[in-house]
Amino acid sequence: MPPKKRNSGTTQSKGLKPSAESASPDKKESPELSLKKHRDKDAEFVTLCKTLHVTDLVCDRAWTLWKTIQESMDEDNQKRLWGACLFVTVTDMDVACFTLTQVLKAVSLNVKQFMSLVRKLDVNLDTISTKVNSALTRLEKKYDVTLALYQRFEKTCKKIFALVADGKERETMRSCWTMFLLAKGRVLQMDDDLVISFQLLLCTLELFIKRCPPDLLQPLYKSSISKVQSPPTRTSRRNQSKAKSRPPEPEMDVQLLETLCKENECNAEEVKNVYQTSFSAFLDSLDLSRSPDFPQVNDLDQQYEEHYLKSRDIDGRLFLDGDETVLVPKVEILQGERTPKKNLQDEDAVLIPPQTPIRAAMTSIQQLRGDLISSGDQPSTNLDTYFKNCTVDPTQDVLKRLETLEQAFSQRFGQAVGPRCVILGKQRFTLGVRLYYKVMEEMLKSEEKRLSVQNFSKLLNDSTFHTSLLACALEVVMATYGGVSRYNHGGGDQAETDVCFPWILDVFKLSAFDFYKVIESFIKADPTLSKDIVKHLETCENLIMERIAWRTASPLFELLKQEHEGGAAEQVETPASFSQPLQHNHTAADLYLSPMRPGHRALPPESPATASSQASSQVLTQPAGQTPRPPKSNSLSLFYKKLYRLAYTRLKILCSYLLSSHPELEPIIWTLFQHTLQYEYELMRDRHLDQLMMSAMYAICKVKSVDLRFKTIVTAYKNMANTNQETFKHVLITEGHYDSIIVFYNQVFMQKLKTNILQYASTRPPTLSPIPQIPRSPYKFPNSPLRVPGSNNVYISPLKSPRMSPGIMTPRSRMLVSIGESFGLSSRFQKINQMVNSSDRSFKRTLDLGSAPKPLKRLRFDVDGQDEADGRLVTNGSTRSRMQEQKMKEDAEARKE
C-alpha cells in the first residue's frame, strides 16, 4: 500500500514526499562518492555522506550550507552539524536519501536534540526554509505521539501479560507493537492523531490477548475473554487446512475490548467502530481477520520496514529496544508533588499518576461526553418551543442543514484522517450537534431574560448564525479529541491532513468573520467548557483578527468598503473610544442581526440600554433636527475594537523588547499602525497583522534616526508567543509573489505610506492616536482552578459536582486541599508549606536563561544591502539583554495569574 502523503502546510513546498526509492537507493540516484571528486571537503564529511547514501549534488549543497553557518555556530561536534546540514539539504531538495533514524544514528543524537540543533542553524533567519520548518514540526509531532503511545503500551502490557520463563511475553509485545505501527501507518493519513492511534492500539492488543495461551495472561484479561470463544492454539502453516474445520473465531471479542477500554478510560463504542471499520480492513489486507494464529514476526517486520523507509522518518520499533535515539530521560515525580486522596491516612494515601498526554486526552473526552449525556440528538422540549414561537418555524431548515453539513464534515474528515474513518467523523459530528443544541438553548434563554421576548424568528432563520454556532461546537469537539494546541499559526495553506483550526471553516465554507461573531457568546453560554478549551477558542479569535479574516474573499472588506464609501465622517471606531474599557455585554444576536446605529453616540458605547434597543429593533431613528449619517455595523465596530487592542498589545510587547530606551517612540509607532489599519486596510489583504506592525516600527525608527534594523526586529519577534517564521519570511508582495518582510516594506508598505511616514519627521507631526485600554481576557471563569500566588504547585478550585471534582479539575501531580473536609494529618499541611516556600527558589531557577546568545556575525536576511549598507552588527548585547529581561518579566506575570 502506498504511503500517505502529508503536505508541509506552506504554499512554497509540498513537504517530504515519500519515495519508493528510499528503501534501496538507486545507484543512478545515489552514485558512490569519491574522495577525488570531493577533495575540497573534509574527509569525515564525505564519509558521512557515503554512509547516508547521498548524491554528489546533495553533498555539494550540504557542504556549502555548512561553510555558510560554520562561524556562527558554537557546537563543538562538527559531525552533528554536518548531519543537520544534510537533513536540511535533502528536505529542501525533496530527494530520497536517508531516514531520520539513519541520520540520528550516524551523528549519535536523539530526536529532540537533533530537532533543536537543526533549528539552531537558522542563524541568519534564511538558513531554514518554511519547507524545512514544516517538515520538522510534522516529525516532532509524530514523535511525541508515538512516544506517548509506547509509554502507555509498555505500562498496559505489564497488566496484561504474565512473566514466563522463556521470555515469551517480550516476543509477544514486539509482534503486537510492530503490528500496531504498521496498522497506524496504513490506516491513518494523519499519523499524529493521538486518540485514533490509541484506539487502534487497543484493537491490536485485543487481537493478541484473545490469541495468547492462557498461561501468558494476567487473571483480569484471562477472565475477560468471552467464554464462547474456543481457546486459541498454535497452528503451523501446513496444518492450516485442518484448522478450517473449526468454527471461525469472532472478529471482535466485545467483552475483552470493553475490559481494555475500561482499564484505559477509553470510550468503548468509539473503539468498536475503529475495530469494525479500520482495523478489520487492515487485518483482511494481511489475511489475518479470522486466522487463529499469531502474525508472523518476520512478515510484520518486513512490511513495516518497507513502510518506514518510504516515510523516511522514525523507526518506531526502536522504542522496544530502549534505543537512545528515540527515548528521552525519564523524569521522576517528587514525592512531595504526588496527590494523595482526601480522608486517608498517610500510609493509605493513593498516589494518582501524573498527567500524561493520553490520560489528559481521555479525561477531556470523558468530561465532554459527560457534559452532553443529557443533551439529545434532537432539539429539547424548550428549544422546540423557541422554534415554534417563531413567526417562521425554522425546525425543518435546521434539520436539513444538519443533514447536509454532516455529510460534508464526515467526508472531509475521512479525507484528512483516513478513508475508513468516515464513521468516526460522524460520531464527532453527533457530539457537535448535541453541544450545538445545548448552547443554542442557553443563548436563547439569556436573550429572553435580556429582552423579555420569546420570538427570535429573525435570528433562528439566519443560516449563517446556525452554521457558525455548529462550527464552533465542532471546533470544541475537534480540539478536545485532537489536543487544544492544534491550530495553524502560519500564514500558508494548511496540510491536507490537518483538521486543526481553521479547517472547520473550509469544510463549511464559512467566513472567519462570521465565525468570530459567535465565539464570545458561545463561551458565555457554556460554563462547563474547560480552561484549555476556552483558551483555544480565544486563540482562534486572535488568529481570525490577525490574518484569517483578511483573506480576499472575506466579507470584512465589503463592510469596510461600505463604511468608507458611505461618506461617513466617522471612523470605523473612534479613537476616543480606545481609552474606554472594552465591555463584553454584546451577544451573538446583536452581531448576526447586524443591528445598525446612528453615526453619533447618544449613549455610551455598548451600554445595556444601547444593546437592548439594538437587538429589539433593527434600525434606530435619528434624533430630530440632525442630518442623517450612514449607519455603522455593530459587528464591524466590535471587531475593530478588539483588533486595536490585540494590535496594541503585541506592539507593546515588541517595543518592550527593542525600544525600552526610547519610550517616546511607542505612541508614534502605534499612531502609524492604527492609521494603516483604519485607512489603508487593503494592505491587510492576504497578509498578517504582525507584518504591518513590524513595518510601522521600522518606518518610525528610520524617520526618527533610531538605529533599529529589520533583522533585529525579526529576531525579537521570534521570541514572542504564537509567532511563526512564515510571517516574516513569506509575505505577499504582489498577486502570487511572496518574499521577505523587508521586500514587502520597501516595495509595498513604504510606497503606500511614504507621505504619511515623512510627516513624523516634520515639526508638525500628526496627532497621536489614543492608547487602547488593554483589558484582561473576558474568558475567565471562577470554575477554573486558580494557582495560589507565588506557587507553581498549589491550586484552589471550587467543588461543583462529582464530575467537576478537584480530582479532575486540578492538574495531576498536585497536592489537594478541599476546605471543609478532613484532610488527615497535619504533616500534609507542612508539606504544602514546604512546597510553597521551595517554589520561590525553583521559580528563580526557571528564570535563569543562561548566557546571552552568541552575537550574529553576518546578515543575509535583508536584500541588496538596503537594510544594512555598512555591514555592522545588528543584534548587540544590550538588545539581547533587554529581550531576556522582558521575557523573564512576562514569564513571572504568567506564573502569577
Three-state SS letters, 545-576: HHCHHHCCCCHHHHHHHHHHHCCCCCCCCCHH
Task: Tell me the C-alpha distance between 650 and 688, whole Å.
Answer: 13
- Say what the pLDDT of residue 540 is: 95
The 3 state secondary structure assigned to 98-132 is CCHHHHHHHHCCCHHHHHHHHHHCCCCCCCCCHHH
Q: Give CA separation, 878 vs 123, 660, 665, 856, in Å.
A: 18, 11, 18, 13
- Say what the pLDDT of residue 252 is: 83
Q: Are 801 and 843 in contact (CB under 8 A)?
A: no
- Say what the pLDDT of residue 164 is: 75
Q: Are 315 and 308 in contact (CB under 8 A)?
A: yes
* CA atoms 59, 60, 61, 64: torsion sign: positive
- Say what the pLDDT of residue 794 is: 61
Task: Tell me the C-alpha distance between 393 and 820, whole Å.
Answer: 50
Q: Hey, what's the cell of 818?
A: 478541599
Angle between the N-to-C axes of helices 877-896 and 710-717, in degrees from 0 to 180, rounded to the nearest 10: 30
Task: Tell me the C-alpha distance between 128 and 122, whole Å.
Answer: 5
- Say what the pLDDT of residue 704 is: 94
Please report, as a single letter, which amino acid is at residue 99. Answer: T
Q: Give CA separation, 748 vs 432, 682, 698, 744, in Å.
A: 43, 11, 14, 5
Q: What are the domain boundaries of the chain? A: 43-128, 138-226+251-321, 357-546, 550-565+578-594+633-788
Q: Are 884 and 852 in contact (CB under 8 A)?
A: yes
Task: Tell me the C-alpha distance between 733 and 731, whole Å.
Answer: 6
Angle between the N-to-C axes of helices 689-703 and 531-546, in degrees from 0 to 180, rounded to the nearest 10: 60
Q: What residues does 487 pair with on adjacent strands?
A: 501
> Hunting for cell 573534509 — which residue is that?
42
Beta-strand ranges (E) seen in 28-168 are none
Candidate CATH numbers 1.10.472.140, 1.10.4080.10, 1.10.10.10, 2.60.120.10; the one for domain 138-226+251-321: 1.10.472.140
- Among 736, 690, 740, 743, CA closest to 717: 690
pTM over 0.85: no
- Say what the pLDDT of residue 293 is: 64
Give 738's DSSP letter.
E
Same fold, 43-128 and 138-226+251-321: yes
Task: Tell me the C-alpha distance between 876 and 871, whole Å.
Answer: 13
45: phi then psi, degrees, rounded to nearest 5: -65, -45
The domain covering 550-565+578-594+633-788 belongs, at the CATH homologous superfamily level, to Cyclin-like (1.10.472.10)
Task: Tell me the C-alpha distance between 700 and 650, whole Å.
Answer: 17
- Say what the pLDDT of residue 91 is: 93
Q: Hey, what's the cell of 421?
A: 474513518
- Say what the pLDDT of residue 858 is: 38
Task: Tell me the C-alpha distance between 353 and 356, whole Å.
Answer: 8
- Among 286, 193, 276, 293, CA closest to 233: 293
- Among 76, 153, 60, 150, CA closest to 111: 150
Task: Tell me the C-alpha distance between 223 and 587, whole Å.
Answer: 56
Q: Hey, what's the cell of 541?
A: 479569535
CATH 1.10.472.10 assigned to domain 43-128? The reply is yes
Q: Are 375 and 438 in contact (CB under 8 A)?
A: yes
The 3 state secondary structure assigned to 173-240 is HHHHHHHHHHHHHHHCCCCCCHHHHHHHHHHHHHHHHHCCCHHHECHHHHHHCCCCCCCCCCCCHHHH
Mean pLDDT by 10 residues, the chain (897 residues): 38 36 39 64 91 92 91 82 94 91 94 92 81 90 93 93 80 92 89 90 93 87 70 44 44 89 92 92 79 71 90 92 81 42 46 75 91 87 95 96 96 89 92 96 92 88 96 96 58 56 95 95 93 94 96 93 66 53 68 54 32 34 45 80 94 95 95 96 97 97 94 91 89 93 96 94 88 71 49 52 41 46 57 56 38 38 44 40 57 58
Rg of the chain taking only CA atoms, in angstroms: 30
- Say what the pLDDT of residue 896 is: 55
- Among 177, 143, 146, 144, CA closest to 160: 177
840: phi then psi, degrees, rounded to nearest 5: -60, -45
Q: Hey, what's the cell of 877?
A: 548585547
All residues at 6 or more sequence positions from 503 whose CB lies less than 8 Å from its CB, including other chains: 416, 478, 494
Question: How many Cβ atoms from other residues are within 10 Å of residue 508's Cβ?
Answer: 20
CATH 1.10.3210.10 assigned to domain 357-546? The reply is no
Helix (H) or strand (E) holding 596, with range, is strand 596-597
Residue 504, exposed/middle/buried by CB under 10 A (0-12, 13-18, 19+)? buried
What are the respective helix, strand and coil percentages of the chain, to the nearest 5? 55, 0, 40
> Hunting for cell 546571552 — which residue is that?
852
List the alpha helices (DSSP H) in 617-749.
634-658, 665-679, 689-703, 710-717, 726-729, 741-744
